[in-house]
Structure 1
Amino acid sequence: MGIRDLVPWTKAQQLPTRQEPFDPFLTLHREMNRLFDDVFRGFGLPGRVGNPLMEGQFAWPRLELSETDKSVTVSAELPGLSEKDVQVEIANGVLTIRGEKKAERSDDSKFVSERYYGSFERQISLEGVEEDKAHADFKNGVLTVTLPKSEQSGRNVKRIAINTN
């Protein structure tokens, strides 16, 4: 099996392949991908490839987490939204960012859109932060939530020795 066999090509993007021995599992894999692509196109959604709703490794909004000795910072890209469209909560060590991006088109004409619309929610589990001192800033479509670390967070670290056999 070559690297091309691992890439989920759609019909329009299919590259010519060289003759390889018949592999029933690979054939089943390709047919299932084609079946799911056809089904979701029938609902007006793009196929599996490039659709953040269908791919597990992508979630919207995209996040960036950074940590220093004193704080944890979570940044979320929210293009086209304002601070009124977003809600940020923290409870029991879980930071929740939720909101909704509404479609801007109001007419019933047919069009193609690759933009994401709808409700979203992301939850990030955080330990050792002071929830009551968290603050959020929204600027140029980027939400930045800063959470100071608690004094106990650094003390709970225990180094584990590695044994060699």
Structure 2
Amino acid sequence: MSLVKFKNNGFPWLDSDIFFDNDFFSSSRNLPAMNVKDHSKSIEIEMAVPGFSKKEMHVSLENGILHVSAEKNKEEKIEDEDFTRKEFEYSSFDRKLQIPPTVDQNKEVIASYKDGILKLKLTKKNSAIENPKKVIKIA
């Protein structure tokens, strides 16, 4: 048997300038799945939150923290339904994300919800937007 050294540099995703999930080390993992798209002028976040209505969700941005939460009102048990197995359970979630300093917190956050997907669009600061590459001819 040969031994191979494992090089552990910590958590590679913590080096990212995009997002740090404050709830990562939480014992409660009742968090929605998330996709983050880093565009040149904005950052787009998609969260899978099926089973909730728009009225049950709360989204806020304050001091560099994006806070997304939802709480489902407990439904009364319907006597007519006879489940063999019931796995649909959407009670609540609470997720906080530290946004990068490139996001302009004074701009409006565009939010939409369709087919169980919550989409948030955060605008970047003008100083964070990369200028296109300029080719310089040598005389």
Aligned-residue sequence identity (percent) comes to 26
Q: TM-score, normalised by structure 1?
A: 0.52
Higher alpha-carbon Rg = 1
Q: Of residues 80, 85, 88 in structure 1, which corresponds to 2:56? A: 85
- Quick check: 95-104 or 61-70, which moved more? 95-104
Which residue of structure 2 aligns with residue 23 of structure 1? none
SS at match of 1:133: coil
Q: Of residues 82, 89, 99 in structure 2, which corresponds to 1:116? A: 89
In proportion to residue count, which structure has more strand? Answer: 2
Distance 1:72 1:88 in 2: 16
**Matched residue count:** 101
1:103–1:117: 8 Å Cα contact kept in structure 2?
A: no
Which residue of structure 1 aligns with residue 104 of structure 2? 130
Q: TM-score, normalised by structure 2?
A: 0.60
Structure 2 portions without partners, runs of 5+: 1-25, 131-139
Q: Aligned-pair distance for 1:105?
A: 5.2
Please list the CA deviations of residues 38-82 of structure 1 after superposition, one character each: whole Å capped at 9, or x if unmatched: xxxxxxxxxxxxxxxxx9695421111111111101111111222
In proportion to residue count, which structure has more helix? Answer: 1
Query: Which structure is higher in RCO with an 8 Å CA cutoff and minimum separation 6?
Result: 2
Pairs within 5 Å for 1:141-156 = 141-153=116-128
Distance 1:129 1:104 in 2: 39
Distance 2:51 2:123 in 1: 28
Distance 2:124 2:40 in 1: 8
